[in-house]
Amino acid sequence: MQAPNDIQWLTFYRKFREQTGIDFNLYKQNQLQRQILMLADQRRVEDFEALSRLVLDNRDEQVWFLDRLAINVTELFRNPELWRDLEKLVKNELVPQGRGIKAWSAGCSVGAEAYSLAAVFDKFSPGKFHKIHCTDIDSSALEQAKKGHFNRMEARIIPQEFDKYFVQTDDGAEVVPQLKNYLTFQKHNLLADPYGSNYDLIVCRNVLIYFVDEAKDQIFRRFYNALRPGGYLFIGSSERIFNNRDIGFECPKPYFYMKPCEEKVWQNAS
Ligand SMILES: C[S@@+](CC[C@H](N)C(=O)[O-])C[C@H]1O[C@@H](n2cnc3c(N)ncnc32)[C@H](O)[C@@H]1O
């Protein structure tokens, strides 16, 4: 299939946004367009007009297309050295406040990050009423997340002290039921939907890599507003917030950003 021109892309993006609320203009273009063309080849469509018709007119095809565009690669305790830093934060700063921890796993994919969080919370504060709000734009990833089953790749790093939370299976690992009680799931588009408030911890890792800088900046400001004063944002190991001071975040450790108790309020970014 021949690569479309700019006008064809923009027309496609506009129609797609009208139907789904998802604005492809906010995603990094090279990566996105390469993926869309690859999917077009898999569907053996002859030209871009045929692909547009297919995904705009057929709801099943649209779901298939979106499921594949959202890259769901994930694993339990991804970057274990950073999870050790998170454990210290949970133990020394979040648990001592004496109530259940309110967290958000934003762009949770099939749930590996959210169940890792649940295991850490339970280890340091067992049985408390912790709440982990798990969201993703991809509904089939969320359906998978509810099951709490992980394949061998996703379950390759389970630190020994967390063994009791995961039962080994023939093809990976399964979460014990007690962790599931902490989690709730919701389909949510970080670029368009409203955010919650008063979180102690927001974990958003390896999601914003797909977005252009303006979109990332907007999301970081909205995360800032969604945290309680003294709350933390934990991001991915290839990510950084260069203008953290401008937003109001302190960065006590790489990949961890804290909203100080003296807060700024961001208008137009709630
Ligand atoms: C690579 S996975 C990251 C999973 C997990 N956070 C981790 O680090 O292991 C990226 C996830 O971001 C989700 N995503 C992409 N665009 C999104 C958007 N606009 N709003 C919410 N989630 C989005 C994808 O569906 C995918 O599940």
Nearest residue by C-alpha to atom 17 in ligand 1: 137
pLDDT for residue 182 is more than 80: yes
In the three-class reduction of DSSP (H, G, I as helix; E, B as strand; rest coil), residue 94 is classed as helix
Q: Where in the chain is the domain with CATH 3.40.50.150?
A: 80-258
Nearest residue by C-alpha to atom 9 in ligand 1: 74
Alpha-carbon torsion (138, 144, 150, 152), positive or negative? negative
Helix ranges restricted to H, the chain: 6-20, 29-42, 48-57, 59-69, 80-89, 112-124, 139-147, 177-180, 213-226, 244-247
Q: What is the mean pLDDT of residues 108-135?
A: 96
Nearest residue by C-alpha to atom 2 in ligand 1: 72
Q: Hey, which CATH number is domain 80-258, 3.40.50.2300, 3.40.50.20, 3.40.50.1000, 3.40.50.150?
A: 3.40.50.150
Q: How confident is the model at residue 7 (pLDDT cuts 50, 70, 90)?
A: very high
Q: What mean pLDDT, rounded, does the chain reach?
A: 92
pLDDT for residue 270 is more than 60: no
pLDDT of residue 66: 77
Is residue 73 lining ligand 1, measured as CB closer than 6 Å?
yes
Locus of tokens 């299976």: 169
* Each residue's pLDDT tens digit, 138-166: 888 999 999 999 998 899 899 999 999 99
CA distance 158 to 112: 11
How many other CB atoms are found less than 10 A from the CB of residue 199? 23
pTM beyond 0.85: yes
- Residue 155 DSSP symbol: T
Most informative mutation of 115, 137, 191, 218 for ligand 1 (most atoms within 8 A of CB): 137
- The single-letter code of the amino acid at 186 is Q
pLDDT of residue 61: 85
Is residue 145 lining ligand 1, measured as CB closer than 6 Å?
no
Q: What is the mean pLDDT of residues 59-67?
A: 79
Atom index in ligand 1 nearest the CA of residue 192 equals 19
Is residue 78 lining ligand 1, measured as CB closer than 6 Å?
yes
Q: How confident is the model at residue 64 (pLDDT cuts 50, 70, 90)?
A: confident
Q: How confident is the model at residue 18 (pLDDT cuts 50, 70, 90)?
A: confident
Of residues 184 and 34, the one with the higher pLDDT is: 184
pLDDT of residue 140: 86
- Residue 160 DSSP symbol: G
* Each residue's pLDDT tens digit, 209-256: 889 999 999 999 999 999 999 999 999 998 999 999 999 999 999 999
CA distance 11 to 18: 11
Is residue 109 lining ligand 1, measured as CB closer than 6 Å?
yes
CA distance 126 to 117: 13
pLDDT for residue 11 is more than 60: yes
